[in-house]
Amino acid sequence: MTGQPIPVIIDCDTGVDDALALLFAVRHPGLDLRAVTCVAGNTDVDQVVRNTLIVLDHAGAGDIPVARGAARPLIEPARSAAHVHGQDGMGDMGLPASARTPVDVDAVTLLRREILASPRPVTLIPTAPLTNIALLLRTFPEVTANIERIVFMGGAVAVGNATPVAEFNVWHDPEAAAILLTAGVPITMYGLDVFERVQVPAADVQRLRESAVPRLKLAGDLLAHRDPAASGDPTPTGGLGDAGAVCAVADPGGLTTRLLPVEVSLAPGPSRGQTIVDRRPRHGESEIHDGAREQALVDVGLDVDVERYVKLWLETVEGSASTDSGAAPA
């Protein structure tokens, strides 16, 4: 690692793979995790806060401030992803509550405070619906002066998951995603096209699950929960999911991006929440006849070095595992 660590803030809906992202961000020496903000998404926002505090314990994090944010999207009702993440949002492992507590300010206030207080511009990493970020940008637009980049997990160039064309984080709050895209700061879209590809091999998942170190056992169990194959497989592989977006901040060279116009479909109906990425080599009839519309330019993730990110994530999270105690996290 060269230079000072990158100041980052994660806005999440922990969330099995948000947990994998947090474990990595806390342990990576090149990242300075300055705060974590929580939003409704995979589960309700109070459960997101509980899960986040538990994960920070396991990660061995210092006193990182955690704040509760929006309880529902700007317009839509909250719609959880319990069928993917379990009733508690983190795989229903029955983990005991943390002794940590969230700060006594809301997520937008904490985001503003930490961004403006940072001596160097902050990289924001939303791995959840963009509600908190949209509220921040509309309430305190001056924060953009101290934001280096926003690397968000969301959207899809090709295929969606919440709908055939819409990815969950954008679909959950499309208006918020539209506000994010026009923030006027550099943005990287770590969408489903790359998100789905980064899978940890079964042997690594198994090794982690058998570890006596609580953070590694948790990491293995979380990964096993993300096995794309049939559940019940004794040696499951596991997708890094949101953690890949944090890898893209720590090691941008592993992600191939292209600066492309991106627009969120806000129309009611089957396209709502779709990220429409314009990959055409030239303007079409629409622009020729009706004129070009102004659209946000976003660095869209189109390819990812899977082995590189899996290795990076494993080495970072396992780190000095041999010197860790097997005791329960503080």
Subset of 232-251 contacting ligand BDR (CB under 6 A): 241-242
165 binds Ca ion (CB under 5 A): no
Among Ca ion, ligand BDR, none, what binds residue 238 when CB lies within 5 to 8 Å by partner kind? none
167 binds Ca ion (CB under 5 A): no
Element housing 296 (H / E): strand 296-304
Among 8, 10, 11, 17, binds ligand BDR (CB under 6 A): 17
Taking the C-alpha atoms of residue 96 and residue 51, their distance in angstroms, rounded to an integer, is 10
- Name 173's Cβ contacts closer than 8 Å, sequence gap at least 6: 73, 74, 75, 76, 129, 130, 131, 134
Beta bridge pairs of residue 260: 298
Taking the C-alpha atoms of residue 283 and residue 277, their distance in angstroms, rounded to an integer, is 13
Subset of 216-245 contacting Ca ion (CB under 5 A): 242
Element housing 139 (H / E): helix 131-139
Q: For tokens 């396209």, what's the residue?
A: 271
Helix (H, G, I), strand (E, B) or coil at 261: strand
Judged by CB under 6 A, the stretch of 58-66, 142-150, 163-171, 219-227 that binds ligand BDR is 163-171
Shortest Å, Cβ 258 to ligand BDR = 21
User: Concatenated DSSP letters for 29-64?
Assistant: TTEEEEEEEE-SSSS-HHHHHHHHHHHHHHHT--S-
Nearer to ligand BDR, 14 or 118 (CB): 14
Structural contact between residues 317 and 24, judged by C-beta atoms closer than 8 angstroms: yes
Instruction: With CB under 6 A as the rule, give the number of residues binding ligand BDR.
Output: 15
Binding mask 24-43 for ligand BDR (x = CB under 6 A): ------------------x-
Nearer to ligand BDR, 12 or 213 (CB): 12
Structural contact between residues 36 and 1, judged by C-beta atoms closer than 8 angstroms: no
Subset of 99-158 contacting ligand BDR (CB under 6 A): 127-128, 153
Judged by CB under 6 A, the stretch of 11-19, 141-149, 276-284, 290-298 that binds ligand BDR is 11-19
Taking the C-alpha atoms of residue 63 and residue 54, their distance in angstroms, rounded to an integer, is 13
Nearer to Ca ion, 13 or 114 (CB): 13
Among Ca ion, ligand BDR, none, what binds residue 53 when CB lies within 5 to 8 Å by partner kind? none
Instruction: Give residues in contact with ligand BDR (CB under 6 A).
Output: 15, 17-18, 42, 81, 84, 127-128, 153, 161, 167-169, 241-242
Instruction: Give residues in contact with Ca ion (CB under 5 A).
Output: 13, 15, 18, 127-128, 242
